[in-house]
Amino acid sequence: MPAVALGPNPAHGRTITEQFHAFDAHNPHVYRALERLVARRLAAGATRVGVKDLFEDLRRQLPHGVAGLNNNFTALYARRLVDDHPRWASAFELRRRRAA
């Protein structure tokens, strides 16, 4: 199995965090949609929420998908959701980050 590179992405020359911030700045509607999806699921009685599952919902719901919505961004969106909505912290499993 090949090693996973945690530093800069050779194709883009940027770290995942840098790519995430660029994507998020150009696609603020994605974060707002994630907030709505989390709020709906919690209101419906869910106690745990997976951001990868939310990403798949977004890909299905948006007419042309979301170009650039990279699964590498799930942890960063989960952390942002918890930072902005601390009451949701128990709904997400956040692990220690291995890379900046």
Q: Is the residue at 97 inside a domain?
A: no
d(CA 24, CA 20): 6
- Transcribe 4-46 into DSSP letters: PP-S-BTTTTB-HHHHHHHHHHH-HHHHHHHHHHHHHHHHTT-
Provide the residue range defining the domain that includes 64: 16-91
pLDDT tens-digit readout, 83-100:
999 999 999 988 776 665
pLDDT tens-digit readout, 23-81:
999 999 999 999 999 999 999 999 999 999 999 999 888 767 678 889 999 999 999 99
Residue 20: CB partners within 8 Å, gap ≥ 6?
A: 70, 72, 73, 76, 77
Q: Is the residue at 98 inside a domain?
A: no
Output the pLDDT for position 67: 81
CB 49 within 8 A of CB 91: yes
Provide the domain count of the chain.
1
Output the pLDDT for position 3: 38
pTM for the model stands at: 0.80
Mean pLDDT computed over 7-31: 83
